[in-house]
Structure 1
Amino acid sequence: MTARRPLMSLLAIGVLTLTAACGEGGSSGTAAPATPAPAATQGADAAACEPVAGEQLVVLDDDQGLQTVDNIIPAVNAEAAAADPNLVPLLDEVSATLDTPTLIELNSAVDVQRQTSTQVAEAYLAETGLSTQDAVGEGRTVVVGAGNFSESATLAELYAGTLRAAGYDASTQAIGNRETYEPALRAGELTVVPEYVGTLTEFLNKGANGADAPAVASSDLDATVTALTELGTGAGLVFGTPSQAQDQNAFAVTTAFAEEYGVATLSELAETCGGVVLGGPPECPERPFCQPGLEDTYGLEVAEFVSLDAGGPLTKTALQQGEIAVGLVFSSDAALAG
């Protein structure tokens, strides 16, 4: 799979570029959590956990909030929203149907099964009943923007399809990365874009307050949405309700590894394993959301780090082949489909 977003540490801390490789979606990890685990050697007396090969991958729960939230959220041009009180509530109907397992399945239908985003969206809208709406948008034109990666394209088609069902003349437009589509959204060239709470918060924060501005996004969804709403006021943007679906940094193991060692959370991994082989992007050993976060927040002992990619095919293949025990992935990756 192609990487979807540059890591937020790269995107929001310094360079405002897209995350996870070649697209612009969410990301996470702008700051370390406020209350790190008290013991940095939880698993020091335990035996090392060797990698276990297997095709199926599973994300370990980030139970102490290392990563920044990156829930999907409709970002809407403020003037368009003010002129049409039905617009945001319709987009919120889409948000209400989405959680991370659903987003994984949508991504799998496109990235693995090779359906188009339009086909996948049409089927989903029919299945969820979103294709049946009251005709409240007659005579209104809406342009839904999308980043240059498949997840964003599918989400844009979900927004556009719901709006068409309500009578809008709704179209989608792929417009590149956040640096390109965010100004177009502000200017009203785009009406709405599916966005990511934490990543957009830091994008706007750095844009408004400078590249060295302290991070305001965190693992607290409510607090991050509050910060995003405040920043949006100055940018001419308003936001719908965030969905439960997230596309954020996450740490995966094979299901065979999880079953062999009896772990489902990162805390359990640290308690169980006296050492693990970790794989991820080259910058992982220095980034607070990656190796240092695992060590400081969870007390995980990293016996060896293998430099691979940011949630891409190298990391996933290394997990599946048993070359690494734990790998940095994205929480909505199609490879996580059951």
Structure 2
Amino acid sequence: MDTNTLAQLDVHVITDKQDPDAVAKGWLASVGLNKTGTAAQGASIKIGSANFQESVLLAEIYAEALRAQGANITTRLNIGSRETYIPGLKDGSIDLIPEYSGVLLQFFDPKATAVSSADVYAALQKAVPAPLTVLDQSSAEDKDAIVVTKTTADKYHLTSIADLAKNG
């Protein structure tokens, strides 16, 4: 999945208020990932999501793809924040949850300095505590932006989000 595809799927779920499971099934069918198989036959997997629509959508994509491969899937959607679902991953009440590598790295290593996608991913693999593991990352990116007036930017010498911390 790439960034444009993720953004388009988000529009269907967030703006158009379509059911995340239906959007997931539609996308999987459109890219040929809904084919039935036995690669995960007999596996029981508990998939969770954070409490916002993009996380729910991504969890549904994983759930439907794994179901198509024979896995027995249960979902726990809209769990809440990392403070709520990370313990569930650690105790096994959740097996898989889609997550953003940058903020997850900050969660486990608040002093991390990695910036590029590759560096963040490498640092995250080292920062995640046992028994957790990080799977391959997607090429899709979700980046935040903060918009301020030119007057505010000039007043506080803001050129990046990081500059806000200096004025906090």
| TM-score, normalised via structure 1 length | 0.44
Instruction: Determine which of 141, 156, 161 is the counterpart of 1:290.
Output: 161
Distance 1:186 1:288, change over 3 A: farther
> Which runs of structure 1 show a deviation greater than 3 angstroms over 4 or more consecutive aligned residues?
275-279, 285-289
In structure 2, how many angstroms separate the alpha carbons of the residues matched to 1:117 and 1:217? 32
Matched, 1:190 2:61: no
In structure 2, how many angstroms separate the alpha carbons of the residues matched to 1:129 and 1:278? 48
Task: Give the letter aligned to residue 290 of structure 1.
Answer: I
Distance 1:142 1:249, change over 3 A: same
In structure 2, how many angstroms separate the alpha carbons of the residues matched to 1:160 and 1:231? 26
Instruction: Determine which of 225, 235, 241 is the counterpart of 2:121.
Output: 225
* 1:228-307 mapped onto 2 (5 Å cutoff): 228-232=124-128, 234-250=129-145, 276=150, 289-290=160-161, 292=163
In structure 2, how many angstroms separate the alpha carbons of the residues matched to 1:288 and 1:236? 39
Report the count of equivalent residues. 160
> Retained in 2: the 8 A contact 1:143–1:170?
yes
- Measured on the aligned residues, the alpha-carbon RMSD in Å equals 2.4
Give 1:187 deviation, angstroms. 1.3
Matched, 1:215 2:118: no
In structure 2, how many angstroms separate the alpha carbons of the residues matched to 1:215 and 1:201? 7
Instruction: Determine which of 25, 28, 36 is the counterpart of 1:122.
Output: 25
> Retained in 1: the 8 A contact 2:50–2:85?
yes
Give 1:215 deviation, angstroms. 2.3
In structure 1, how many angstroms separate the alpha carbons of the residues matched to 2:55 and 2:29? 19
In structure 2, how many angstroms separate the alpha carbons of the residues matched to 1:168 and 1:116? 22
> Retained in 2: the 8 A contact 1:146–1:153?
yes
> Retained in 2: the 8 A contact 1:205–1:216?
no
Alignment correspondent of 1:99: 2
Greater share of helix = 2
Greater share of strand = 1
> Retained in 1: the 8 A contact 2:48–2:94?
yes
Instruction: Return 5+ residue gaps in structure 2 as ranges.
Output: none
Give 1:247 deviation, angstroms. 1.4
* Percent of aligned pairs with the same amino acid: 34
In structure 1, how many angstroms separate the alpha carbons of the residues matched to 2:86 and 2:31? 29
Alignment correspondent of 2:61: 158
Distance 1:190 1:277, change over 3 A: same
Instruction: Determine which of 173, 177, 191 is the counterpart of 2:76.
Output: 173
> Retained in 2: the 8 A contact 1:144–1:192?
yes
| TM-score, normalised via structure 2 length | 0.85
Q: Secondary structure at the match of 2:70?
A: coil
Q: Secondary structure at the match of 1:237?
A: coil
Give 1:288 deviation, angstroms. 7.8
> Retained in 2: the 8 A contact 1:107–1:151?
yes
Q: Secondary structure at the match of 2:18?
A: coil
